[in-house]
Amino acid sequence: MKCVDLFAGCGGLSLGFEAAGFEVIGAFDHWNSAIEVYQKNFSHPVYKQDLSDESTVIEKIANLSPDLIMGGPPCQDFSSAGKRDLTQGRADLTYHFANIVCAIKPTWFVMENVEQIKKSHIISDVIEQFKINGYGLTAIILDAAYCGVPQSRTRFFLIGHLNDNHNQLVEILEKNLDKSPMTVRDYLGETLETEFYYRHPRNYNRRAIFSIDEPSSTIRGVNRPIPKTYIPNSCDPKGIDLTKVRPLTTLERSYLQTFPRDFKFFGTKTDLEQMIGNAVPINLSRFIARGIAEYMVNFSSIHSATQSPNEDVILVKLPKKSMVSKKTISYQKKQAIEQTKNDMQPMLALF
């Protein structure tokens, strides 16, 4: 199946789909630093293009005749790590993505974004647009730690298949989830040569020190050294010798995004941290691609099953709570309680 990658960045989606046997024939982005890294790692062309210029983009993609268009429109206006300001204009790129897909009408499309997009009217708008254009849709939120990624990273995916029913991939994707979350040690073994590492928090009421015996926290585009005056948070593991704690290097963070060790990164540290943090983890991308491939193998029998063509698109979050092990629930509950206590401290000080 021939694919085109929009908002390609340094190639997380592209690499995952190639790993699942798909053929990526072209990519588009507008950030020079990411384009240069992409060019060094893929043989197909990547085009520098403002993707808000829909007519130009549509003409170029039409000449490639893709079977699938994928992309992750910039998420800063939705993200909890951003300002969540829909007036900034970046959220409009989600509309541009939908317009481009509906103009080209590929058999499949895959759109990735942060979980918080579910609260925006924009996702409702584009879902309605895709439905009008004949796409059967699967809307799903996945925890990457159950998809072969050693990282707690929840991401929204909207998958469209032309002239199909809605919610068709949910069963396959749920079946293919790992039984337990992947830890950093599961994936990297002892190669980090540390038991604990520092991830700079968004504020100092939050946890900053993590164990390799759990999934890493979400890799963001910010990576700072541990402050010399850092005082462990109550959420941090107890009894830690801070002299043995360090932040992960840029390359180590790329490994937690499941980029292969032979992937060629170059550029400024700031740019690299940003493109790595923005990328779709390769194994998460591969998980989605394999789900589509598996569905296509069984498409005839699945499609003939009795199902109302007017069924609503149902947003599903995986894994479901019933699938998460008691050990994982216990750990997450403890962390949530500690985090709630810390988040409440500034508010309690007001009374």
pLDDT in tens, 123-167: 999 999 999 999 999 999 999 999 999 999 999 999 999 999 999
**Per-residue pLDDT reduced to its tens digit, 172-201:** 999 999 999 999 999 999 999 999 999 999
pLDDT number for residue 204: 80
Distance, CA of 233 to chain centre? 28
Q: Are residues 90 and 59 part of one domain? A: yes
Interstrand relation of 108-114 and 154-162 (parallel, antiparallel or unpaired):
antiparallel
Q: Are residues 194 and 165 part of one domain? A: no
Residue 338 pLDDT grade (very low, low, confident, very high; cuts 50, 70, 90): low
Q: How many domains does the chain have?
A: 2
Which domain does 208 fall in, by range? 184-273
338 occurs within a structural domain = no
**Per-residue pLDDT reduced to its tens digit, 49-66:** 999 999 999 999 999 999
Q: Are residues 240 and 145 part of one domain? A: no
Q: Are residues 141 and 109 part of one domain? A: yes
67 occurs within a structural domain = yes
Q: Are residues 89 and 35 part of one domain? A: yes
Which residue in 75, 102, 147, 235 is the catalytic one?
75
144 occurs within a structural domain = yes
Q: Are residues 125 and 6 part of one domain? A: yes
Q: Are residues 156 and 129 part of one domain? A: yes
Question: DSSP string of 104-134?
Answer: H--SEEEEEEEGGGGGSHHHHHHHHHHHHTT
Look up the pTM and report it. Answer: 0.88
**Per-residue pLDDT reduced to its tens digit, 240-296:** 999 999 999 999 999 999 999 999 999 999 999 999 999 999 999 999 999 999 999
Cα separations in angstroms, 198 against 211, 236, 274: 9, 10, 18
Q: Are residues 201 and 145 part of one domain? A: no
Q: Are residues 233 and 303 part of one domain? A: no
127 occurs within a structural domain = yes
333 occurs within a structural domain = no
347 occurs within a structural domain = no
350 occurs within a structural domain = no
pLDDT number for residue 325: 61
The one-letter amino acid code at 74 reads P
117 occurs within a structural domain = yes
Q: Does the pLDDT at position 307 exceed 70?
A: no
Q: What is the 3-state secondary structure (H, E, C) of 183-219?
A: CHHHHHCCCCCCCEEECCCCCCCCCCEEECCCCECCC
Q: Respond yes or no: is residue 75 known to be catalytic.
A: yes
Q: Are residues 197 and 163 part of one domain? A: no
Q: Are residues 115 and 164 part of one domain? A: yes
CATH number of the domain enclosing 30: 3.40.50.150
Q: Are residues 259 and 215 part of one domain? A: yes
